[in-house]
Amino acid sequence: MKRVALYMRVSSTKQVKEGDSIPAQRDALTKYAKEKWYSVAGEYLDDGVSGTRADRDELSRLLEDVKAGKIDIILCTKLDRLYRNIKHYLNMMDVLDSHNVGWLAIWEPIYDTTTPQGRLIVNQMMSIAQFEAENTSQRIKQVQAYKLSKNEVLSGATTAGYKIENKHLVPDENAPYVRQMFEMYASCGSINKVMGEYGGRYGLPTTKPAFRRTLMSPIYKGEHYTGIKDFCPAIIPADLWDDVQRKLKINIKMSQKETYIFSGLLICAECGRRMGGNTRRRQRGNCYTITHDYRCTGYYARRPRQCSNNKVATENVIERELITRIKPMIQDKILQYEIADRENRRDRTPEQITATERKLDRLKTLYIDGLIDLDTYKADRAAFMSQLEDLREKAAQSHTEDVEGLKRLLKPDVWEMYEGFTPEEKRRFWRGILDKITFDHDRNFSIYFL
């Protein structure tokens, strides 16, 4: 008695409606096997998977059983249930031929892989199936591109804080809580703490990876993941979203026992990798000391070594270097900001913005009154809008808040408070004002503000 494998696949609800549902396939295959007195060695079901894909879990399991000698014939309902890509089909046939295993599409008996004529027909039909699949994919992409050009959603799934109205994303009643979540993470830099407060509530996820993906979603600043700007109303201001992304990037998993103050901030100047924290414990008599240092992972953690920087930066040395150099650097930064703001005011940027907006209004009036044609209106409006965008960007570069924040860091009481900070508080303090610290082979530090 021949051993057969029943292979079933469906990739869409449309196929279910057309009679290709999994129960329909199973009933037909089981009935056929019974009529032919075949022994069913196993059922293999790929649900919701495209036939153009080669990496299907159940098909892979089926081929492994073929290699193990458990199967004589593979039964499917139609050819395109197996594959819709001729290259992947031919790769499968290499495996089947080497183990003397054939296959049969019971609803398309014209296919017979045991004869040269049958193989020719199968190859031709596979080419047609691949062509249809690629055409379908192209049509889907065109429809999606059209919908995106209209800022319409592609599916019914939404991100927490949004709902769908008239095919567009709009903030819902949970939007304020999503913003609070971003603000909390920007303040504490801990996904675990934010999850403890918001996880599983307000439509937010319950697992750490999903929570991290939520915090990384550009949709919250109004941008589609494909890069389309102003796709929907923003829940999160762009500067807050950027700050959260920066903190996520440097939020390296820490030891449960140790807190490294400069983890994620310290960069190897030679290779650009983040330097990893290391703990050294020494005991001299009854004294027990713990020292934290940082080393380039390109030199110490990789074989063969991918960096020449073998120098070690001790945490207390970095801290002392920062405190010594930070005040003159802050003063220089304040001076740079004040000069830039004075130049901006000298250029009379606010007045230029107002004047450009008036020109746009007058241009619109000219078009409405029929004094200029549509092409002239579009060309002039595009030029004015570009000019206005540049001016607004320039006006937004005011550093007043930055200057005030830096001036607070010059007050003596800030550094008196710093001495009493816990390691975790010191870690948050430096992350709040520094972008990175680089350390080179000659033990030189370079400090970069946010």
The predicted-structure confidence for 45-65, as pLDDT tens digits, reads as follows 988 787 777 788 899 899 999
Which pTM was predicted? 0.43
Q: What is the pLDDT of residue 105?
A: 85
Q: What is the pLDDT of residue 179?
A: 92
pLDDT score of 129 more than 50: yes
pLDDT score of 3 more than 90: yes
Angle between helices 374-395 and 349-368 (to 10 degrees): 160
pLDDT score of 126 more than 70: no
Neighbours of 116 (CB within 10 A): 7
Backbone angles phi, psi at 204, to 5 degrees: -90, 155
Neighbours of 204 (CB within 10 A): 22
pLDDT score of 210 more than 90: no
Q: What is the pLDDT of residue 256?
A: 46
In this structure, what DSSP letter does residue 441 have?
T
Half-sphere exposure of 427 (CA within 13 A, CB side): 19
pLDDT score of 68 more than 90: yes
Q: Is the bond leading into 23 cis (omega within 30 degrees of zero)?
A: no
* pLDDT digits 0-9 by tens, 381-436: 888 888 888 777 766 666 666 777 778 878 878 888 888 888 888 888 888 888 88
* pLDDT digits 0-9 by tens, 329-357: 888 888 887 777 777 666 667 778 888 88
* pLDDT digits 0-9 by tens, 352-387: 888 888 888 888 888 777 888 888 888 888 888 888
Q: What is the pLDDT of residue 255?
A: 42
